Chain A
Amino acid sequence: MSLRIYAIAYLVFLYAPIVLLPIFAFNDATIIAFPLSGFTTDWFGELMTNRSLHTAVKNSLFIAVMTAVLSTLLGICAARAGAMYHFPVKAGIMGFIMLPLVLPEIIVAVSLLVVVVQIFDMGLSNWTIIAAHVLICTPFCIAILNGAFQNLDPSLEEAAMDLGESRFSAFRLVTLPLVMPGIISSMLIAFTISLDEFIIAFFLSGTSQTMPVYIWGLMRFPASLPVVMALGTIMVALSIILLTIAELLRRRGMARAGVKDKGGFL
């Protein structure tokens, strides 16, 4: 019984702040406080007309899409190698690739800042953020794609080759369709992680800001808080939708490969 109370309290603690987002996003008052004063969609309207916000959103979308594509490509290579081949110090190498998963983001951000600015003497741009985001997203992609590749019978590609296909077309005709749900799921996760990542983007962004960095800037002006709430609401909704699609695709991939679900991220 006490465990149940604990569990409920835990969930409330986790999600109550998020529930506040949509509530105040539709509240007709600039001050974030109960009681609610009335319903409005003005804050969402304001989002539509804000130029600098639009630039930030565009930046974020570009970074997130590139991150999703690049980290998934790297993830495919690593997951396929991990599932199908045996090579020396494989465990060590795979461990190293997964390390950014537990590395504090601030360390990644600061060290990359030093590398880019001090050592290479390059300017900061969207691409420096993409590089850093690929670094932190790739382990997630590998974790998802591992499931897709490890459930794959290695004989399948061999059978395709034995039946006359080259190594590449065997991959394209057999492996790719079977792991496609995993690939899409991996891209969606990487996209979501990159889209709302703040610390790295804050350290590595040049003249143009990403959306989370822009929101952080808005926080200095109490009057713009409801707008932030509205933006937050949209982002939460988007994240939930994307993660749901990712999980559904992952499960479909499992079913297609004819294996039992062994649990995933959600």
Chain B
Amino acid sequence: MTALITLKGVNKYYGDYHALRDIDLTINTGEFFSLLGPSGCGKTTLLRTIAGLEDVSDGVVMIGGKDMRGVSANLRPTNMVFQSYAIFPHLSVAENVAFGLRKRTDLNKDDKAKMVEDALAMVGLSGYGKRASHALSGGQRQRVALARALILKPKVLLLDEPLSALDKKMREQMQVELIRLQRHVGITFILVTHDQEEALVMSDRIAVMFEGEIGQLADPETLYRRPNSRRVAEFIGKMNFLRADVLQVGDTIDVDVAGLGRVSVNAEQAPMALHKGAAVAGVRPETLAILFAGETTERKLIDGVVDEVVYYGDMTYYDVRIAGVDQPLNIAMKNLIGRPVLDVGTRTKVVWDERSLVILA
């Protein structure tokens, strides 16, 4: 794996507003990389500094080993799919896709027409060339934007919230298609999204951003299982937080967790540097379970009372109160055969395991 894009100490100010704070980042060739964060966290600004649509106030952006300072967007080996798709409304589909080829004097008309047709075929829009672009649906516009950017064979394709304007079904379909397309063309994709699920599904690596900083940079599994801060844990998926008291830090870490008692976890479960004293223990809803009648377990059990039931069809989410904890525990249960949906107020047993805990300062 070779580094394609390197950012060193990148800062961006808008007047007094500090939009990007000391961003250091390396993105590899052929990688599907995501910038994930809540709105206003600077992820789009970061993407635009890579595209050259935004100058950096301070720091270095390198693409393919070249310093991009002073290189404007039209001269960078990047192409972008805009959030609004930015399809030129006065041009046909084929004219839109061919727009970037205008400067290519080495190609004749037939070559260009062939390239346009190939690009449209790649995104599943064969034969749409003559259509007027304002007559396209949202999904089709997105495909045209993809074809228009990919026809130039950029080193990097930048995608700014490309799926946010689509409905849920279409979005899920396009997620799979984008992954397939990225593997097919082998180009580095950088995706900006606020949808944590989308980032988890699509990315090789994800940078989670908050207030202009990268909070955590990791592969999806690490990000989900070992978030390195409470805000990352809150942003990615659901997590129950329990008060915890760190008793001893060593090869293993001894913690007294509210409601669960004293446990010993290994160092991997503590991604942040811990000190003795107050901390929080995080546990994902699906790593807890309710022990239904007739089921057995060798794991630890704790008594609880069902406080809330949310039925999703394939899953049921229970809020279960346990002694010594203010917030009820959120527990996700698959609705397997023979499992009833419990009523509020049912006395039950919660199955838990210290291996699923994450201890955060």
Residues of A within 8 A of B (CB): 153, 155-156, 158-167, 174, 177-178, 256-258
Contacts and interface: CB of A to CB of B under 8 A. Distances in A.
B79 A162 contact: yes
A160 to B, nearest CB: 7
Interface residues of B, number: 25
Interface string B80-92: 1011101011100
Contact of B90 (A159, A161, A163, A177): A177
B152 A164 contact: yes
B51 A174 contact: no
Contact of B80 (A159, A174, A256, A257): A159
A153 B134 CA distance: 13
Contact of B84 (A153, A163, A166, A257): A153
Contacts of A156: 86, 88
A204 to B, nearest CB: 41
14 contacts: A153-B84, A155-B82, A158-B73, A158-B80, A158-B86, A159-B88, A161-B73, A161-B74, A162-B53, A163-B100, A164-B74, A164-B102, A167-B72, A257-B89
Contacts of A177: 90
A158 B82 contact: yes
Looking at chain A's contact residues, the main secondary structure is helix
| 3 A-B pairs with the lowest CB-CB distances in the bound complex, closest first | A159-B86, A163-B100, A155-B86
Nearest to A177: B90
B82 A159 contact: yes
Contacts of B102: 164-165
A256 B89 CA distance: 7
Interface string B83-119: 1101011100000000110110000000000000000
B284 interface: no
B61 to A, nearest CB: 15
A111 B149 CA distance: 56
Contacts of B78: 162
Identify the interface centre among B53, B73, B82, B103: most chain A CB within 10 Å of its CB. Answer: B73
A256 B134 CA distance: 8
Given A166-B74, A258-B134, A161 B53 contact: yes
A257 B88 CA distance: 9
Given A155-B84, A159-B88, A163-B149, 12 more contacts: A155-B83, A158-B82, A162-B73, A162-B74, A162-B78, A162-B79, A162-B149, A163-B79, A164-B100, A164-B103, A166-B72, A258-B89
Nearest to A86: B14
Contacts of B103: 164-165
A165 B74 contact: yes
A87 B59 CA distance: 25
A178 B133 CA distance: 14
Nearest to A178: B90
A163 B148 contact: yes
Nearest to B100: A163
A163 B51 contact: no
A163 B53 contact: no
Nearest to B160: A155
Nearest to A152: B89
Nearest to A163: B100
Contacts of A257: 89
A162 B51 contact: yes
Contacts of B148: 163
B73 A153 contact: no
Contacts of A166: 72, 74
Contacts of B84: 153, 155
Contacts of B74: 161-166
Nearest to A157: B86
B53 A160 contact: no
A162 B152 CA distance: 11
B89 A158 contact: no
Given A155-B83, A258-B89, A163 B72 contact: no
Contacts of A163: 74, 79, 99-100, 148-149, 152
Nearest to B82: A155
A158 B53 CA distance: 7
Interface string B143-178: 000001100100000000000000000000000000
